[in-house]
A = this chain, B = another copy of it.
Amino acid sequence: MSKRVTQKTVADALGLSPSTVGLVLGSCATRGSKKLSPDTEERIRAKAVELGYQPDRAAQLVRSGRSNQIALIHFGGVSEVGSAANRAIAAEIVRQGYQCLTVDMSWHGQDFERPLNELVQARVEGVVISLITEAFRKEHVAIFAKAGIPVISVNGDPRIGVPLICDDVEDAFYRLTRHALEQGHRKLLLVVHDVLNRPTTGRMQGFRRALEGEGVVECVPGTEIAARWPALRKRRGVVGCIAQLPMLPEHHAFQHAVYAFAQRLFCEKAAPDIFLATNDVAAFGVHAAALECGLRIPEDVALSGYGNYDFGRYPAYSLTTVDPCVSRSAVEAVRQLVSRLRKENGAMRSRQFPAELLLRRSSQS
């Protein structure tokens, strides 16, 4: 390898001073400050390309204090919704002229401190957090606050105290539940995590609101459900039951829990009219249980999910679900953050977008 080509190399080759070259090739040039004679500028540009000049980003950062990077923090990309959100966030960051520094927190176990400190040390100018998990808390956001780095969250939880852009999950579950009632379903079982974050409480509240004045709604922890559901479903009229299953950080682990739960209900001939699963991952677990037990969907038990996963499109599944339109939230979040960085306007503010119901065969009566 030959020696690095720097601004000085280009200047020497042209008989100009490093400063002049710096004006053209430096990061200040992009921001269009000073002007040079178009001729000189062109000569410098041409020579830089000829010699293969590459700016030294580390040196630029040391001198200017601007890294031109925005961090994207997410919590594992196996989920399709998560992947779509991350992809949209990254694309918008690049479109806005920043580099995207991506960190998958699920690769680091519970040791969040180290990767977050690495971001601070990389001097990222802003942070977008995508689809937050329970383990990520205020104290983690504080690491950025202390360094003066603005943070915004997509589909997260307001409790961590940063502006939140998300889909209106409560409204979606309200409409999903109304749809179930319209289909004639009377015994409704909503399966959610046993945590009280926004995505989960939103689901519960939407479900509750839709059943107001229609019938009874009971909230039952996973451990008691086997004992209480059989009696509940025998009540007259509309019965809504919220089953709270243990929060498991790993998608598949939660899917298995839902599967085992549904499988038991099916074996005991205690199926609800409709399963409203917290997401498509969980719905898949219910479906696997139904297949195993020989129950037909929707003839023997109806089913809905959330997230618009790909498998739901197959005729064999034809899963009623919700498209959260994550890319809309993603773009909005990045735009707010960038506008804040460019000091165009002061505050970032939380916002909710409506999601889109996809009514398919699995929820029919």
Give A residues with C-beta under 8 Å from B. Answer: 1, 54-59, 61-62, 67, 76-78, 80, 83, 86-87, 90-91, 94, 99, 101-104, 106-108, 114, 117-118, 120-123, 147-148, 252, 255, 259, 284, 287-289, 291-292, 310-311, 314-317
How many Å lie between the Cα of A187 and that of B86 in the bound state?
43
A1–B148 CB distance below 8 A = yes
Residues A107 and B87 in contact in the complex (CB < 8 Å), given A58-B123, A120-B54, A292-B314: yes
Q: Which residues of B contact A62 (CB under 8 A)?
A: 56, 58-59, 62
A102 to B99, Cβ gap below 8 A?
no
A246 to chain B, nearest CB (A): 18
In this complex, what residue of B is CB-closest to A293? Answer: B316
Chain B hits for A148, CB < 8 A: 1
A292 to B61, CA, bound (A): 58
Closest to A120 in B: B54
Chain B residue nearest to A111 (CB atoms) is B94
How many Å from the CB of A312 to the closest CB on chain B?
A: 11
Whether A57 pairs with B91 at a CB distance below 8 angstroms is: no
Pairwise interchain contact A90-B107, C-beta atoms closer than 8 A: yes
A120 neighbours in B (Cβ, 8 Å)? 54
A-B contact pairs, 28 of them (CB 8 A): A1-B148, A54-B117, A54-B120, A56-B62, A56-B121, A57-B121, A57-B122, A58-B59, A58-B61, A58-B123, A59-B62, A76-B77, A77-B77, A78-B80, A78-B83, A86-B104, A86-B107, A90-B104, A91-B107, A94-B114, A99-B118, A252-B310, A255-B310, A284-B311, A288-B314, A288-B316, A288-B317, A289-B316
Give the distance in Å from the alpha carbon of A311 to the alpha carbon of B255 in the complex.
9
Nearest CB in chain B: distance from A360 CB, A:
14
* Residues A104 and B107 in contact in the complex (CB < 8 Å), given A56-B62, A288-B316: no
Residues from chain B with a CB closer than 8 A to the CB of A121 are 54-57
Beyond the given A57-B58, A58-B62, please list 20 additional residue pairs across the A-B interface where CB-CB is below 8 A: A1-B147, A57-B122, A58-B59, A58-B61, A76-B77, A77-B104, A78-B78, A78-B83, A90-B104, A90-B107, A94-B108, A99-B118, A101-B101, A252-B310, A259-B314, A288-B314, A288-B317, A292-B314, A292-B315, A292-B316
What's the least CB distance linking A67 to chain B, in Å? 8
Task: Name which residue of chain B comes closest to A114, CB basis.
Answer: B94
How far does the Cβ of A145 sit from chain B's closest Cβ, in whole Å?
10
Given the complex, which residues of B lie within 8 Å of A108, measured CB to CB?
94
Bound: A104/B59 CA distance, A: 26
- Provide the bound-state CA to CA distance between A148 and B1, in Å: 7
Taking CB atoms, residues of chain B closer than 8 Å to A104 are 77, 86-87, 90, 102
